[in-house]
Amino acid sequence: MTNEFKTIEKQTTPPMEEQKPKEIKKVRSFLRFFNVRNIFSKENVMGSLSFVFFLATLAIIYIANSYNAEKVVRKIESTQKELKELVSEYGSVKRMLQDSSRETIVARKVESMGLFEATMSSQKQIVVNKNDLVTK
């Protein structure tokens, strides 16, 4: 008993060489339908060359604008980070200044220079005449 199905199948399949010309004919007919050869003729290409340059210029401007926008965004982000750091530094410096400017801390620091807190209340001096000085 032989396998008749395989023998029939072998006989019905056309060889690969015969299929290629049919595919090429289909592609050619497709290109003829759209008339691609005439679209890329020398006259059409030369006539639309200025428009192609215009489109290329627009593309270059678009790319340059996107690069510039990304550069500005990066600069804004870095400035915001720097601003946050400076705000936190300002807060810490302000707290240190408030701590160091308290009356008791200042008094301790100037004791080494020989200065002391005043125990008497301040006096008001009034000038009645240019030669007279009155203290109250």
Domain spans in the chain, listed from the N-terminal domain onward: 10-112
Structure tokens at 14: 């056309």
CA distance 126 to 135: 6
Task: Band the pLDDT of 8: cuts 50, 70, 90.
Answer: low
Least confident piece of the model among 2-11, 31-40, 43-52, 92-101:
2-11
Angle at 45 between CA 49 and CA 61, to 5 degrees: 30
Contacts of 124 (CB under 8 A, 6+ apart): 135, 136
Task: Band the pLDDT of 5: cuts 50, 70, 90.
Answer: low
Task: Band the pLDDT of 135: cuts 50, 70, 90.
Answer: low
